[in-house]
Amino acid sequence: MTAELQPQVIRGVRPPGVLMVGNFLSKTGGRRFVCEDLAERLRKAGWNVFVTSDRPDRVGRVLAMLTATWSRRDSYSVSQVDVYSGAAFLWAAAVSEVLRWLGKPLILSLHGGNLPQFARRWPRLVRRTLAAANVVTAPSGYLVGEMKAYRASILLIPNPLDLEKYRREVRLHARPRLLWLRAFHSIYNPVLGPKVLALLARDRDATLTMVGPDKGDGSLQETLRTADRLGVAERLRVIRGVPREEVSSLLAGADVFLNTTSVDNTPVSVMEAMASGLCVVSTDVGGLPHLIDQGRDGILVPPDDPEAMAAAVARVVDEPVLASRLSANARRKAEDWDWRVLLPKWEGLFRELADA
């Protein structure tokens, strides 16, 4: 038995086995997905959990997923599969077909802001795949609404956070200390960051910290060139990724969170900022309007509009009443995303299907 499929048994009790199929890549240097945290929490709660796959190469990963689904068929009674767009959707569809043939209860969990666009391009494939599931979940109202044409019933379960990790601090007065936390890739439009900074720096002592890995499409280099061209290179700090445990400290050191993305669903980075009481200024795209209540717990602006984003940040900095309202309400909303609230929902769902 490989390490990635090793179950954990608590006090000799073996509850129903759960197979979780997704990207378990953090141990090999990849991004940590929600499925890893869910598997870890279930194990600590006493569940018998098998996961696949931690293979970094795509071909090896899908082969490991299919192999585990078949070879461990006698060890699990319910399964959960993450669903993304593009090639990842095909992997999920293939695993779902195997599970359908095996007669295993299946939960499909939808993710990614590009999934609705993929579904419009391949509607028959998406409908067939979603029809194979006993339950389909989504982390945002955006995906629930966009995907209901392909599956009428979709259960909303937000991405969970461990709120104890985030310092709760209401910003009674927001300083122009800006934080951006995402990957340097064109879909996240990081170049918008220094453009906003340059506008704010005209009459404020503004700084911007941008944190994220370089995805290699030239976005990081363009961001740095833009900052230099606009004369704000000394005000910009770039950190090419940090250990996960250091994220809360970075959030605590800022007052305003910028989300510049052009395509999005329900970004965990924005949720983390809200949990930390930052004043969030985000582009109004994808699932963000479902995550942020305009003017109550964040401010939404048109995409790729540096003037609008800078004006929103200036309002937050200049209006303490607005800043404190956004900060307090954001943290209050985040209470509903805590693991203590959401893990029992997942456990109930698995238990219901396992006992069916």
Q: What is the tens place of the pLDDT at every residue in 178-209?
A: 999 999 999 999 999 999 999 999 999 999 99
List, in order of start, the domains of the chain with CATH numbers. 3-160+338-355 (3.40.50.2000), 163-336 (3.40.50.2000)
Give the per-residue pLDDT at 242: 83
The pLDDT mean for the chain works out to 92
CA-nearest of 237, 285, 236, 282 to 259 is: 282
265-277 as b/e: b if 16+ CB within 10 A: bbbbbbbbbbbbb
- pLDDT of 172 strictly over 50: yes
Q: Check: CB of residue 343 under 8 Å from CB of residue 43.
A: no
Task: Judge whether 182 and 269 are in contact, CB under 8 Å.
Answer: yes
Give the integer Cα–Cα distance in Å for 117 and 121.
7
Output the pTM of the full model: 0.86
Instruction: Supply the pLDDT for residue 256.
Output: 98
- CA–CA distance, 291 with 266 (Å, rounded to integer): 7
Could you give the CA distance from residue 312 to residue 296 in angstroms, rounded to a whole number? 13
The answer to whether 196 and 258 are in contact (CB under 8 A) is: yes
Tokens of 228: 């230099």
* pLDDT band of 168, cuts 50, 70, 90: confident
Cα→Cα distances 153→136, 137, 145, 245, Å: 7, 9, 10, 36
Specify whether the CB–CB gap between 190 and 180 falls below 8 A: yes
pLDDT for res 221: 98
Q: Indicate whether 12 pLDDT > 60.
A: no
Question: Residue 121 is encoded by which pair of tokens?
Answer: 């391009």
Whose CA is closest to 115, among 267, 283, 286? Answer: 286
Q: Are 188 and 220 in contact (CB under 8 A)?
A: no
Q: Quick one: which H or E segment has residue 345?
A: helix 339-355
* Residue type present at position 224: L
pLDDT average, residue stretch 326-352: 96
Is the pLDDT at 2 greater than 70, yes or no? no
Over residues 244-265, the mean pLDDT reads 92
Q: Which residues partner with 84 through β-bridges?
A: none
DSSP category for residue 135: E
Q: What percent of the chain has pLDDT over 90?
A: 85
